[in-house]
Structure 1
Amino acid sequence: MNLQLPSLSSSSVPHDLSKWTSKLAPRRYTAFPSLSPPKSISTRLLKQLPIKSTLVVPGHCSFARSRLLPLSASAVDASNTASAPVQKTSKCPFEKLTTAISSAAHPVLTTAITAFAAAPSELQPIPGPPPLSLDALKDVSIIFFEGLHVAMLRFSEKYGPVCRFSNPASLNGATSWVFLNSPANIQHVCATNVRNYGRRYLPDIYTYVTHGKGILGSQDDYNARHRRLCSGPFRNRAQLERFSHVVVERSQKLVDIWTEAAVKEGVLGSEPPSSSPPADCSGGFTTDVATQTQRLTLDIVGLVAFSHDFRQVEQVRRDIIGSAGDSRLLQDRVLWAVNTFGEVLAEIFITPLPLLRFLDRIGFPHLRRLDEAVRIMRQAMLDVVQERRSALAAGLAGKDDLLQALLTARDDMGVGLSDEELWEDVHDIMGAGHETTATTTAALLYCISAHADVRQRVEQELEEVLGGRDPSYDNLERMPYLQACAKEVMRLYPAIPVFPREALQGDVLPSGHAINAGDVVFMSSYALGRSPALWPDPLTFNPDRFRLEAEAAQHRFQWLPFGAGPRMCLGASFAQMSVCLMAATLLQRFRFTPLMPNTSLIPVAYDITVNFGPSGGL
């Protein structure tokens, strides 16, 4: 993309850098094979369904959906069913993240509701391809060649908002696979009857890598305990405001490095540049914005999570002059490890655990790379943990970050977290919040820059609200159009495309379709965001979809970039704040021009999270 050059004066008029390239090759989000459709409704299932039952859903099971901008996010889709403490905080711009979503499940928070199972004559058969048929093979091939996110959109177009693929081999323990693309059905799974779908479906690779620990790979009580401990700093307004200073400071450091590069290239003159970039994109230089936003967010997450400076932004100078990375440097090893972890996980995503263990014994190269990535990240984080424990033992003042909260946390028996538990939790937060936020920010800069009318409105809003000053947490409420742009980016390019859940018992969806015990129910933020039934002209970038009045007319479960329910991203507020503050800082000083300005949609691929190919101009 073409970055408009920064001014050395105090003027807030953006200037032109140059083209924006990406070293990130497209990576497939491989998924789940051997799928086929449903058998007819069994009498066993009908016996499981009570004719009348009472369901009580506690407050912690309410689904909270962000009406203020998100990312990806952070994108973490972590799930559990145990209660999380409600924290009283002062009013903040992102309070709607919990209140708007809580309202979705308000009628069932503390009152009993009566649920009636559909009579056998009312149950609707779930469409899908015949088991082990040519149609089933063709449908499943979409998953392997185009990704699960694309397949789910195609399935909804072909079969409707609910479809089923049978799983005769019970791959990864699922009796069958049910794909939902209906907000009402998703609300039922994630809010109304959330207790029946409280377990997040986890492929065997997660068990292999995490041993059932951490926030992403754990279930039930273990997961609930760790989410409670980790979520506090991301819910508190005062803490979020402190975190916002880190976001702006690091973003400004990136601005300074780009400015230095412009001066050295001789493209920044003493006269203030024109407010509009030249048509031929001259007067700037080409830089890898996609990778550099990754470096930026890794620094931010490291400082916020455990006050550790990975010094990734400083490496941007080397990126710009084309110097290769140095594998001896901790900064480069950590970045390699974080990226490799996601890549390899995607490549072997559906491999059964017995086969993984066999491949491990014979030294399968993918697993060797995965093990090396985990070893590097684990050692880097354990070094920080042990350094902080020593400081606490010496009576030194603690730091105001997530790790400090976890180091001092105790359960009912007075037992704290071990070093291994700390590393698992902090690793999950860093991994989930780093790449997802970076790619969302890169996509936001691209989409704003590729649409001149949008760019002009964003620049006008930034000028009116900030007037050349650094953005702050308190400014966010006064930048609704920038937030709308970010929401629209997350609709088209959600960082986490799929969030699956396991059905513990038989159930009937609001649409009248029966779910069997043991079914895995897949819901997709990507398919929801591109569904013509939910969004007029869904492939057009249109931030006005998220004007207050337009947003109020949407179904609460129509836009879900952070997942939904008690396992939705616990860092959603922090992610959406970071995306807006980074974009506001960079867009005040630079104007970006995509390498391929005629590309209406960014070519997107997923490993575990979203990635963009070089053809997209990032």
Structure 2
Amino acid sequence: MSRYPDLIGPKPPIKKLPFFTAMRAMKDNPIATLPLAAYQRPFWEAKSIFGAQLLVSEPAGIKRVLVDNAANYAKAPLDARILGTAFGDGLLASEGDKWRAHRRVMSPAFDPRAVASYAPVVTRATEARLEDWDAMENGAEIDIAREMTTLMLGIISRTMFSTDSECLQGRLDETLRKCIAELSFGFQHLAPVIGPLLMKRKLARVRANFEAVDAVMQGLIRSRDKRTGQPPRDLLDRLIAATDADTGFRMTDEEVRDEVVIVFLAGHETSALAATYAWYLLSLHAEAEATLHAELDAVLGGRTPTYDDLEKLVYTRMVVDEALRLYPPAPLLSSRIAREDDEICGVRVAKGMEIVISPWVTQRHRTLWDDPDRFDPWRFSRERSQARPRYAYLPFGAGPRVCIGAQFAIAEVMLLLGAMAQRYRLKLTPGQDIVLDLRITQRPRDGIRMRLERRG
């Protein structure tokens, strides 16, 4: 019996699941269908009536697909259709020249100087949330997933829309939640004859969810267009004004809208989940929690952290990295389809074959990590990290399409942990059944209940 806590999340079955059992599991969390062999082999091929899929976990193979020969591996048409319907034709769904043009003009809005400028918004929102916690009784129970989502929602709203955040925050949150709830697909959506009709109806409902919020957003974008020549107040101003110095390219209002939706979703959902799972993991590991507290006390001495403090919070960063390893924001990357025949680390790939890369599997792979299911922040020390293959760790993807806001997300979580863990430790409420559902991101279905305990 393991002396380490048994962590929440889908457990790999020893053998491949029977077809209909797998279909039922697929609806809630496709990762639950992956057998133990997928975590032990560098390549694992799944065959079904829908065709063959090759799961690539070998770091050199991942590099081949996402970096060295990325042009040969396009997003699967169904994935692109679903993402495009849900979130528009922005960075998440677009390909080719359009993706490159958008990525190029958007990058300055997420460079280190820009991230540093967003940090005060993070700390002000965190301090306000701490005031709410201070008003509660010691030992009060909270849903940490809801707490972190609410906090990150306020942060991304103010970062993106500043003084206009109130008119969009609630509407965007509600719209995206309805949209994500619809992104659950079963066997019937892939079945011949009836499948295409059911898929069309589902995607129509997803698209209809955005009609009301689109009108408000387009009005806001048009009003911002009139502020030409003034310094940017927020991320929306930066996206509207973004211009490629070499080509003169600027995004249209509709293109800005698509990118805003994606940044809003990714900008609060991924950070909220990273923080949620960091709190969960710390609550189960007293030694790691004590080490974190000691570093925060020594570096900050009770004051609110700033962006300049982050480089000194070495162990805090390791905690965040390890939480992202065990619970990556996007456990499954979009499937890729080989445009031409290829070879990945000696494995032949035929034109049209579907390639799958799963950060969840790669980051828990038995050949890449020691005790992969154990929480151990020290595995991200400088010495141990140097010995690890580069593409064994990809919580935000890799290659040209790596998440544009990855550094902002890490800074957010470090800042809030630095502020909150100085004053509170969180203890997991016993006796709860925590189930993780996968809808692009992987969320606890009914939250995670924890008790607030004031430190000292």
- Give the TM-score normalised by structure 1: 0.64
Does the residue aligned with 1:462 lie in a helix, a strand or coil? helix
Aligned partner letter, 1:191: V
The change in CA–CA distance for 1:486 and 1:200 in structure 2 (over 3 A counts) is: farther
Aligned partner letter, 1:501: R
Corresponding residue for residue 234 of structure 2: 401
CA distance in 2, matches of 1:454, 1:332: 36
The change in CA–CA distance for 1:373 and 1:585 in structure 2 (over 3 A counts) is: farther
- Give the TM-score normalised by structure 2: 0.85
Does the residue aligned with 1:611 lie in a helix, a strand or coil? strand
Partner residue of 1:610 out of 426, 442, 449: 442
Corresponding residue for residue 443 of structure 1: 277
CA distance in 2, matches of 1:137, 1:239: 49
- Aligned pairs for 1:112-151 (under 5 A) are 137=19, 140-141=22-23, 144=26, 147-151=29-33
Aligned partner letter, 2:317: Q
**1:284 corresponds to 2:122:** no
Partner residue of 1:379 out of 215, 219, 227: 215
C-alpha displacement at 1:469, in angstroms? 1.0
CA distance in 2, matches of 1:297, 1:239: 18
**1:161 corresponds to 2:37:** no
Corresponding residue for residue 5 of structure 2: none
The change in CA–CA distance for 1:135 and 1:431 in structure 2 (over 3 A counts) is: closer
Does the residue aligned with 2:428 lie in a helix, a strand or coil? coil
C-alpha displacement at 1:455, in angstroms? 1.2
- Aligned pairs for 1:48-197 (under 5 A) are 137=19, 140-141=22-23, 144=26, 147-152=29-34, 154-157=36-39, 160-166=41-47, 176-197=52-73
The change in CA–CA distance for 1:340 and 1:475 in structure 2 (over 3 A counts) is: same
C-alpha displacement at 1:556, in angstroms? 0.8
Does the residue aligned with 1:488 lie in a helix, a strand or coil? helix
Question: Would you say the 8 A contact 1:187–1:557 is kept in 2?
Answer: yes
Corresponding residue for residue 251 of structure 1: 126
- Aligned pairs for 1:109-508 (under 5 A) are 137=19, 140-141=22-23, 144=26, 147-152=29-34, 154-157=36-39, 160-166=41-47, 176-197=52-73, 199=75, 202-203=78-79, 204-210=81-87, 213-235=89-111, 237-259=112-134, 261-262=135-136, 267=137, 283-308=138-163, 310=165, 331-347=169-185, 351=189, 358-359=197-198, 364=201, 369-392=205-228, 397-410=230-243, 414=248, 416-499=250-333, 500-508=335-343
The change in CA–CA distance for 1:602 and 1:186 in structure 2 (over 3 A counts) is: farther
CA distance in 2, matches of 1:344, 1:414: 38
CA distance in 2, matches of 1:139, 1:441: 32
Does the residue aligned with 1:497 lie in a helix, a strand or coil? coil
CA distance in 2, matches of 1:238, 1:522: 35
The change in CA–CA distance for 1:453 and 1:389 in structure 2 (over 3 A counts) is: same
C-alpha displacement at 1:207, in angstroms? 4.0
C-alpha displacement at 1:292, in angstroms? 2.1
Question: Would you say the 8 A contact 1:153–1:531 is kept in 2?
Answer: no
* Larger Rg over CA atoms: 1
Deviations 1:244-270 (A, max 9, x none): 1111111111112222x32xxxx4xxx
Unaligned runs of 5+ in 1: 1-25, 29-128, 170-174, 268-282, 312-328
Partner residue of 1:558 out of 354, 374, 392: 392
The change in CA–CA distance for 1:146 and 1:357 in structure 2 (over 3 A counts) is: closer
CA distance in 2, matches of 1:202, 1:359: 14
Question: Would you say the 8 A contact 2:243–2:250 is kept in 1?
Answer: yes
CA distance in 2, matches of 1:504, 1:143: 30
Q: CA RMSD in A?
A: 3.2
CA distance in 1, matches of 2:331, 2:416: 23
The change in CA–CA distance for 1:201 and 1:477 in structure 2 (over 3 A counts) is: farther
The change in CA–CA distance for 1:381 and 1:181 in structure 2 (over 3 A counts) is: same
CA distance in 1, matches of 2:187, 2:326: 24
C-alpha displacement at 1:418, in angstroms? 2.1
Question: Would you say the 8 A contact 2:330–2:440 is kept in 1?
Answer: yes
CA distance in 2, matches of 1:285, 1:186: 45
C-alpha displacement at 1:431, in angstroms? 1.0
Which fold has the larger relative contact order, with Cα–Cα distance below 8 Å and residues 6 or more apart in sequence?
A: 1
CA distance in 1, matches of 2:188, 2:263: 23
Does the residue aligned with 2:392 lie in a helix, a strand or coil? coil
CA distance in 1, matches of 2:71, 2:25: 29
Question: Would you say the 8 A contact 2:295–2:313 is kept in 1?
Answer: yes
- Aligned pairs for 1:544-583 (under 5 A) are 544-583=378-417
The change in CA–CA distance for 1:479 and 1:210 in structure 2 (over 3 A counts) is: closer
Aligned partner letter, 1:605: D
Deviations 1:509-556 (A, max 9, x none): 11x210011112101100112222222222221111111111111111
Corresponding residue for residue 4 of structure 2: none
Does the residue aligned with 2:440 lie in a helix, a strand or coil? coil
CA distance in 1, matches of 2:415, 2:118: 11
Question: Would you say the 8 A contact 1:153–1:527 is kept in 2?
Answer: no
**1:517 corresponds to 2:351:** yes
Question: Would you say the 8 A contact 1:299–1:309 is kept in 2?
Answer: no
Aligned partner letter, 2:173: L
CA distance in 1, matches of 2:35, 2:418: 33
C-alpha displacement at 1:573, in angstroms? 0.8
CA distance in 1, matches of 2:411, 2:35: 29
CA distance in 1, matches of 2:255, 2:54: 34
CA distance in 2, matches of 1:136, 1:286: 40
The change in CA–CA distance for 1:485 and 1:414 in structure 2 (over 3 A counts) is: closer
Question: Would you say the 8 A contact 2:331–2:360 is kept in 1?
Answer: yes
Question: Would you say the 8 A contact 2:63–2:391 is kept in 1?
Answer: yes
CA distance in 2, matches of 1:497, 1:166: 21
